Structure 1
Amino acid sequence: MTFSIVGRCAETGQLGIAISSSSIAVGARCPWLRAGVGAVSSQNITLPALGPQILDELANGSAPPQALDHSLTRNGYSQYRQVAVVDAHGRTAVFSGNHALGINNAVAGDQCVAAGNLLANSGVIEAMVAAFENSEGCLATRLMNALQAGQDAGGEAGAVHSAALSVVGDLTWPIVDLRVDWADENPIGELGKLWTAYEPQLQDYLTRALNPTLAPAYGVPGDE
């Protein structure tokens, strides 16, 4: 149903999530990020409220395991949840309930957590962690490499139809927020194309937001 990688860049402090699912619009429900606080993927039988609740706990000083446990206890039905957490210090927590769907697995690595359910095999998650830890480049690239590694290792037991990539840095809004809400085939590949197109423009969009006088023109009507 879903597999994801949540990670932090030790050099920049950026936090991010790359995720895919057989369900529509996974990026609208499962990834939750807050700059300077943490990143949470709430999946399996998804309860979106877990994301902001865990981030609130982290912001108030809780360590990831305590934040995760408090939020799961508060909402009940934890046996149906799968949740991965990385905080602003790179500390991790992960939970898979005993009603997680199909073959499921969750593994914490170096400043990252990968988790998935309804997998083709449990090795999908180990492949994602290894790819993240061994990849070079910016955080978004490393996350995409990990997501693709999971797909290459077997991915879900069935077809994947949506995917998303989100990264926060020093600003209050995501510096990357790309989604493929539905594709009949290969949404991870389509997401990769979006990232390839967006990456060269990322800094320009930040410049346009923070100092319009330095913003490059893109040749669209009214943009001079």
Structure 2
Amino acid sequence: MTFSLVARCAETGMFGVAISSSSPAVAARCAYARAGVGAVASQNVTDPRLGPLALDLMQDGLSAAEAVAEVQKRGSFIEYRQVLAVDAQGGTAIHSGPNSLGIWTQAQGDNVASGGNLLANDGVPQAIVDGFVTARGHLGDRLIAAMRAGLAAGGEAGPVHSAGMMLVDRVAWPVADLRCDWTEDCPIEAIATAWDIYKPQLDAYIQRALDPREAPSYGVPGDE
């Protein structure tokens, strides 16, 4: 019911996850990232414990491949799960259990991994990877381009209704965590619109947290 990618920006070290599904609120259950450590998507009959577990393992020094191998050992009903990971060196790994739903497949390269289930065809994850690799600009722009490429390649077998994008970079919280939890329209385009609005303000929100004395005006009524 889901297609996604995890990625690292080779220039900045920023990590990101983008995901979409026919299920509601997919990003709340499936997207995980930690600055300086990596990014993980845990999907297909989701076990939300697997994302933090994989990040903890990578934070302890395991590569993405080693962390996913350990998740396979520790996870419950792992034959039903898909887990995608990228680490701080740009290494990637994917587990897709044999009980993944419908047409399921995966693709990966340096700094990016994609997987999906209940897909329209088995070329969707490779289209997502190719979309990410050929896109330019901010990591958020590249994640949106990749998800659009996956949708153009067929996406899920049925309509998608929710999507999300998370970015982490240098601070302990996500610098962007954009979600569309349900829509009858395209949730990926909803996230893209939110990103267009949020992107110019991203650095200002970080500054407001670190030192509001140096922050730009809030631009709201009563703000001077």
Both structures adopt the same fold (TM-score exceeding 0.5): yes
Measure, in 2, the Cα distance between the counterparts of 1:54 and 1:25: 21
CA contact (8 A) 1:37 1:55 kept: yes
Tell me which amino acid in the other structure corresponds to 2:111. Answer: Q
Measure, in 2, the Cα distance between the counterparts of 1:109 and 1:136: 16
Measure, in 1, the Cα distance between the counterparts of 2:209 and 2:160: 34
Give the secondary structure class of the aligned counterpart of 2:98: coil
CA contact (8 A) 2:65 2:91 kept: no
Q: Detail structure 1 runs of 4+ shifted over 4 Å in the superposition.
A: none
Task: Report the counterpart of residue 188 of structure 2 in structure 1.
Answer: 188
CA contact (8 A) 1:50 1:72 kept: no
Tell me which amino acid in the other structure corresponds to 1:186. Answer: C
Tell me which amino acid in the other structure corresponds to 2:60. Answer: N
Give the secondary structure class of the aligned counterpart of 1:183: coil
CA shift, 1:110, in A, is 2.0
Question: Does residue 16 of the first structure (1) align with residue 45 of the second (2)?
Answer: no
Task: Report the counterpart of residue 53 of structure 1 in structure 2.
Answer: 53
Number of residue pairs aligned between Structure 1 and Structure 2: 224
Measure, in 2, the Cα distance between the counterparts of 1:141 and 1:109: 18
Tell me which amino acid in the other structure corresponds to 2:91. Answer: R
Q: Unmatched 5+ residue regions in structure 2?
A: none
Q: Unmatched 5+ residue regions in structure 1?
A: none
CA shift, 1:213, in A, is 1.5
Aligned-CA RMSD value: 1.0
Task: Report the counterpart of residue 90 of structure 1 in structure 2.
Answer: 90
Give the secondary structure class of the aligned counterpart of 1:29: helix
Give the secondary structure class of the aligned counterpart of 1:52: helix
CA shift, 1:203, in A, is 1.3
CA shift, 1:222, in A, is 4.5
Measure, in 1, the Cα distance between the counterparts of 2:82 and 2:128: 17
Normalised to the residue count of structure 1, the TM-score between the two structures is 0.97
Task: Report the counterpart of residue 204 of structure 1 in structure 2.
Answer: 204
Tell me which amino acid in the other structure corresponds to 2:122. Answer: S
